[in-house]
Amino acid sequence: MFLLSFVRIIKFGLQDIYRNIWLSVVTIIILILALFSINMLLTVSVISDTAITAIKEKIDISLYLKADAAEEEIIALKAELSNLEQVKDITYISKAEALEFFREKNKDNPEILQALRELGRNPLTPSLVITPKSTDLTDSLISELNKQDSELIDSRNFTDHKLLLSKINNITDKVKEVGMIVSIIFILTTLLVVYNSIRVAIYTHRKEIGIMRLVGASDWFIYMPFFLSGIIYALVGILAIILIFYPFLGLLQPYLEAFFSGYDINILSYFNSNFIFIFGIEFLGIALINVLASLIAIRKYARV
């Protein structure tokens, strides 16, 4: 009996979709547009996060060493600092390399190069360029470096780093806050559009719902085909958005790589590695909204 009713519910749900094909197509198109918007929002969020991380990664900490420090002592200090838990990477820049970088950086400035030649010696000191594991650890890394009492260290003024990082953190926090508010408004609007389109779809069936009640259909028998239709709409919408959005991401990827040159940004691999989570949540969310909208609308028309 239950199995028979279940099979009938599936039959009626599918029948409802193909016998109202234009209504079904319009509803699915609205779902696809809504899903496209949500995935675009997600893409923008991933891109902005990458941009913020890229800016923060630009900030590394340089520890300037005494000009006469022996190379083996520097290597030993480097090894010692590498053991700090906040440190991701340390690059040793020798006096000669520092001079080379300086010359390269100022190759278009003949006055500076001339002054360097007149000086007759390498005025630059060796340094250790330290990259923290994450920007959140920068403060604690700086305080660790301040504790180092090695005689090799010539300069450890990190105030500029702290100020810059604080400004960047301030801006990124604001960007995230605004982004969050915009996202919430956007997602709510999208969900309301979906909710309303399902209610309109049910509205066109209002007489049928009343008739079903009058010929003795139970609430379960009336509601379930509409719930099923709502779930099928969500499923078709998700499958369609996967087919539409991946080529779109494929087109976007070269532009992102060009824009974030030198940084690891791959929006396709982000969607690939979070595929189940992203599209699973979207499917569940849309299906839930569809079922909820159906429930509310049918209750209104099944009062006979």
Partner 1 sequence: MIKLLNVSKIYKPNTQALKDVNLHIEPSEFVSIVGRSGTGKTTIIKILTGEERLDQGKVLVGGWDITNIGRRETPWLRRQIGVIFQDFKLLPKKTLAENVAFALEVCGNTPKKIDSIVPQVMKIVGLEGKLGRYPHEVSGGEKQRAAIARALVHRPKILLADEPTGNLDSINANEIIDLLLRINKFGTTVVLVTHNREVVNKLKRRVVTLDNGMVIGDRAVGKYIL
Residues that bind partner 1 (CB under 8 A): 1, 4-5, 8, 15-16, 19-20, 207-208, 210-219, 221, 304
Residue whose CB is less far from partner 1, 4 or 251: 4
| Residue 246: exposure state from Cβ atoms within 10 A (0-12, 13-18, ≥19) | middle
Residue whose CB is less far from partner 1, 8 or 88: 8
Q: Which of 196, 180, 238, 207 is nearest to 304 (CA)?
A: 207
Residue identified by tokens 């959140």 is 136
Min dist CB 210 to partner 1, Å, is 8
The answer to whether the CB of 221 falls within 8 A of the CB of 212 is yes
Length of the chain: 304
The answer to whether the CB of 290 falls within 8 A of the CB of 234 is yes
Min dist CB 206 to partner 1, Å, is 12
Min dist CB 8 to partner 1, Å, is 6
Residue whose CB is less far from partner 1, 68 or 219: 219
Residue whose CB is less far from partner 1, 26 or 217: 217
Torsions phi, psi of 172, nearest 5? -65, -35
Residue whose CB is less far from partner 1, 163 or 211: 211
Min dist CB 289 to partner 1, Å, is 24
| Cα dihedral 19/291/35/20 (nearest 10) | 10
Half-sphere exposure of 143 (CA within 13 A, CB side): 5
Residue whose CB is less far from partner 1, 1 or 251: 1
Min dist CB 286 to partner 1, Å, is 24
**Interatomic CA distance for residues 79 and 90, integer angstroms:** 9
Min dist CB 237 to partner 1, Å, is 22
